[in-house]
Amino acid sequence: MAFLQVSCISKAFGGVPVLRGVSLALEEARILCILGPSGSGKTTLLRIIAGLERPDQGAVLFKGRDLRNTRPHLRRFGMMFQEYALFPHLDVSGNIAFGLHMLGISRSEVVRRTGEMLSLVGLEDLSRRNVSELSGGERQRVALARSLAPYPRLLLLDEPLGSLDRGLREKLLLDLREILRRIGMTTIVVTHDQTEAFAIADTIAVMDRGEIAQMDTPENLYRHPADPDVARFLGLANLVQGRVETGSSIATPLGLLHVPAHGHERGEAVTVLIRPDAAVICRGDEQVPQGMSMVEGNVHDCLFKGRSYHVEVRIPGPQALFFDLPQNSPAPRVGDRVKLLLSPGAITVMPG
């Protein structure tokens, strides 16, 4: 029995379907990230789990119990909203203590727990500050502390870093991950940013147009995206059309690629994904090793990115491929003709 089970949730607004039969399961103390473009229905799913919206169909089960008739305030889930929704009439402490007052615990316990939360997020000095005087990062921390304070059984975060600027985001991302792991909180995070998802999640569910396209660990997801859309959303852009030639080779406009095509019929049309970090520049007339593939093209652009070069290679025809080449090899120059070696592990075959 899963800690949280979401089964076959559907929801439409004004006749427009937003969620279509979404199911997922989450174990205790794990962090699930729902990743999807805006409008994919991920926030709606989160609000349904919180009880703020009613599903048209399907159910949310918590430890096997159907929450259909449990009002949001009785679910004891914590939720952090996209714009944080801090209470403007209360100061920092007042915001954090709000949920504790609702629990009806003693005043001294409220004070103790509030203090604990303030130090957890590192805001001890700001406890009496008015929320309208806080910076963006401070607001995010107050919102996190507020949702964690009343001992939620499950924490829901809606774009927790969404409204912050880039530099702040990276720092707070690490803080957030650290805090969640330390207290072992079962968490669902909704985000549209794959970096954020990869950094924080045990499991990622990619949502697209109201459905879960794929749900897996970050590593598996990155290695084996289920379809071209997922791959594109994860930022993997080197997609080429091809046809299965033999059990271990696929014909593409780039030439024959050697890769095991398990589960695909001979002659079937497939999409091949070439990961950008998987290529090596091939010098001179080196022999192509057994099982490796080689593609040839002209360097159209090259960007030094510190640890790697980001290279755009034009293959004859309209196709452009992007690679991140290690910086210890000599930099390719724009206009050079290069040969690139690809290992089978760097290539994924997908249907369509």
Could you list the residues that contact another protein (CB under 8 A)? 13-14, 47, 50-52, 54, 71-79, 81-83, 85, 87-89, 98-99, 102-103, 130, 132-133, 146-147, 150, 156
Residue 78 C-beta: closest distance to another protein, Å? 7
Residue 14 C-beta: closest distance to another protein, Å? 6
List all residues 6 or more positions away from 306 whose beta carbon is below 8 Å from its beta carbon. Answer: 327
Nearer to another protein, 18 or 315 (CB): 18
Nearer to another protein, 48 or 346 (CB): 48
Half-sphere exposure of 190 (CA within 13 A, CB side): 26
Residue 294 C-beta: closest distance to another protein, Å? 53
- Rounded Cα–Cα distance for residues 23 and 139 (Å): 32
Half-sphere exposure of 162 (CA within 13 A, CB side): 17
Residue 271 C-beta: closest distance to another protein, Å? 38
Nearer to another protein, 152 or 225 (CB): 152
Q: Which helix (H) or strand (E) is 330 found in, with range?
A: none
For residue 233 the two structure tokens come to 């959303």
- Rounded Cα–Cα distance for residues 311 and 193 (Å): 23
Nearer to another protein, 88 or 267 (CB): 88
Nearer to another protein, 54 or 307 (CB): 54
Nearer to another protein, 117 or 311 (CB): 117
Locate all alpha helices (DSSP H) within the chain, ordered by sequence: 42-50, 72-75, 92-103, 107-120, 136-148, 166-183, 194-200, 218-223, 228-233
How many C-beta atoms surround the C-beta of residue 290 within 10 A?
Answer: 6
Residue 158 C-beta: closest distance to another protein, Å? 9
What is residue 137's three-state secondary structure? helix
- Rounded Cα–Cα distance for residues 101 and 339 (Å): 67
- Our measurement of the distance from residue 236's CA atom to the centroid of its chain's CA atoms, rounded to an integer in Å, reads 14
Nearer to another protein, 85 or 334 (CB): 85
One-letter amino acid for residue 125 of the chain: D
- Rounded Cα–Cα distance for residues 110 and 115 (Å): 8
What is residue 90's three-state secondary structure? coil
Residue 9 C-beta: closest distance to another protein, Å? 16
Residue 98 C-beta: closest distance to another protein, Å? 5
Nearer to another protein, 92 or 294 (CB): 92
Quick one: residue 204, left, alpha or beta (phi over 0 = left, psi -120 to 50 = alpha)? beta
Residue 80 C-beta: closest distance to another protein, Å? 9
Residue 150 C-beta: closest distance to another protein, Å? 6
Give just the sign of the alpha carbon dihedral 135, 138, 142, 148: positive
For residue 311 the two structure tokens come to 């290279």
- Rounded Cα–Cα distance for residues 32 and 42 (Å): 12
Nearer to another protein, 22 or 156 (CB): 156
